[in-house]
Amino acid sequence: MHLDPDLAALRPLGGFFVLRTTAAAAGPAPAALPTLAETCETAASDVSRNALTYRVATVADRLRTPELRVSASISHQGLAARLWSAALACAAVYGRVPDLDPRLLRWDAAATAPEDLWLTEVRPLPGDAATLADTVLHGNLEPLGEALRARYGIAAGLLWGNAGSALAGAARELDRWARATGRTEVADRARTLTDELFAHPLLRTTGTRTGTAFRRRSCCLYYRVPGGGVCGDCCFTRPPRSSPHAASG
């Protein structure tokens, strides 16, 4: 199946899977929004005007956490989930993936979850695991992680754990949708691609998989949010400490 200009086949999946394109926009394209490339390039040099810095502060305010490191991790996981969901779904449904070059992705950092991404041009690429790794891991998550580490001092292992968790979550939801709708070929392709992606050196040690279940080896720090707890795939079975200012795992 060829990629259509508005990626309409993703709409039935909803939520994190839908990727808006300028071809499908009801109004003018959001040209004023920064690209993900611009966001990462300026994160360390112009923090007062940077969309990533703004997003981290916004998430901190919404979660009522004083720790920007915590909101930075959660913001990162939200972006990772959006990128993996759209890319994996395209590869499994279409057999092709759009080029997710960060210069083609515009981001509304003020939006609520899921992260509001616009793809300004649909350029078809092969739908194999190597291409998914190039466009998501190397093209987006590596520079995003570098920007977050430089600005907030987040450990690389935590960020790659977020990436693994986001991929496992996207694969699990895609598998659930595919089986519920009788699209077993989509479920099979998604499972094969996910297996191959988790063999990648950057994801291989992020967690343990059993079927579509995933247990990560790091913590995203959500337990440090006031009123927060541990996530379903966390390395912890309970929050390590009751204080939100305790040392992270």
Each residue's pLDDT tens digit, 15-72:
889 998 876 555 445 666 888 998 887 654 555 568 899 999 999 999 999 999 999 9
Instruction: Look at residue 242 and tell me if it is in a domain.
Output: no
pLDDT score recorded for residue 241 = 67
Q: Which residues of 182-212 are buried (b: 16+ CB within 10 A; e: fewer)?
A: ebeebbebbbebbeebbebebbeebbebeeb
Instruction: Look at residue 67 and tell me if it is in a domain.
Output: yes
Q: Which residues contact 52 (CB under 8 A, 6 or more apart)?
A: 39, 40, 43, 75, 109, 144, 147, 148, 151
Q: Does the pLDDT of residue 246 top 80, yes or no? A: no
pTM greater than 0.85: yes
pLDDT tier at 192, thresholds 50, 70, 90: very high
Q: Does the pLDDT of residue 203 top 70, yes or no? A: yes
Q: Does the pLDDT of residue 2 top 90, yes or no? A: no
Mean pLDDT, the chain, rounded, equals: 89
Instruction: Look at residue 62 and tell me if it is in a domain.
Output: yes
Q: Summarize the confidence of residues 212-237 as an average pLDDT.
A: 92
Instruction: Look at residue 249 and tell me if it is in a domain.
Output: no
pLDDT score recorded for residue 16 = 87
Q: Summarize the confidence of residues 237-249 as an average pLDDT.
A: 56
Instruction: Look at residue 14 and tell me if it is in a domain.
Output: yes
Are 113 and 78 in contact by the 8 Å Cβ rule? The answer is yes
Closest by CA position to 118, among listed 128, 104, 130, 129:
104
Each residue's pLDDT tens digit, 132-191:
999 999 999 999 999 999 999 999 999 999 999 999 999 999 999 999 999 999 999 999
Strand partners, 208: 215
pLDDT score recorded for residue 24 = 56
pLDDT score recorded for residue 31 = 67
Instruction: Look at residue 198 and tell me if it is in a domain.
Output: yes
Q: Summarize the confidence of residues 215-242 as an average pLDDT.
A: 88
pLDDT score recorded for residue 38 = 87
pLDDT score recorded for residue 42 = 61
Q: Does the pLDDT of residue 245 top 70, yes or no? A: no
Q: Does the pLDDT of residue 225 top 60, yes or no? A: yes
What is the domain extent for residue 189? 8-224
Instruction: Look at residue 240 and tell me if it is in a domain.
Output: no
Instruction: Say which range, 5-19, 95-109, 111-125, 233-247, has the weakest mean pLDDT.
Output: 233-247
Total number of domains in the chain: 1
pLDDT score recorded for residue 205 = 96
Instruction: Look at residue 20 and tell me if it is in a domain.
Output: yes
**Euclidean distance between CA atoms 172 and 189, whole angstroms:** 13
